[in-house]
Structure 1
Amino acid sequence: MEQNPSLGKPSWFSYFVLVVASLIAVFPVFWIFSTSLKPAEEVLSPNLTIFPKTVTFANYEQVLQGGMFWQWMFNSVMIALLTTVIGIILAATTAYAVSRFEFWGKKGVLFAFLVAQMFPGAILIVPLYNIMKDLGLLNTFTGLIIAYSTLSLPFCVWMLKGFFDAIPISLEEAAMIDGMSAFGTFIKIIVPLSLPGLAVTGFFSFITAWNEFMFALTFMTGESNYTLPVGLRTYVFEFNTAWHLMAAGAIIVTIPVLVVFLVAQRFLISGLTAGGVKG
Structure 2
Amino acid sequence: MTATNGWVAEDYAKVNAPHLRTALAALSLAGDALERGGAFAEIGCGTGDIARVAAERGFEVWASDASQSMVDATRQRCAGLPVHVEVCPAERLDLPEDRFTVVHSSWVLHWVTEVEQPLRRMAGALRPGGHLVLQWTGAHPRGQGPGMFGILRQVAGGPKWRDLLAEAQPAMREYPADEVAARLTAAGLDLVHYDPELAHPLSAKGPGPTLADLPDLRERYKLAGFATQAAALGERADEFVDEVLTTMIEAGQVDPHHARIVARRPG
Q: Counting strand residues as a fraction of each chain, which structure ranks higher?
A: 2
Q: Which has the higher contact order (CA 8 A, sep 6+)?
A: 1
Q: Counting helix residues as a fraction of each chain, which structure ranks higher?
A: 1
TM-score with structure 2 setting the length: 0.25
TM-score with structure 1 setting the length: 0.24
Rg: which structure is higher?
1
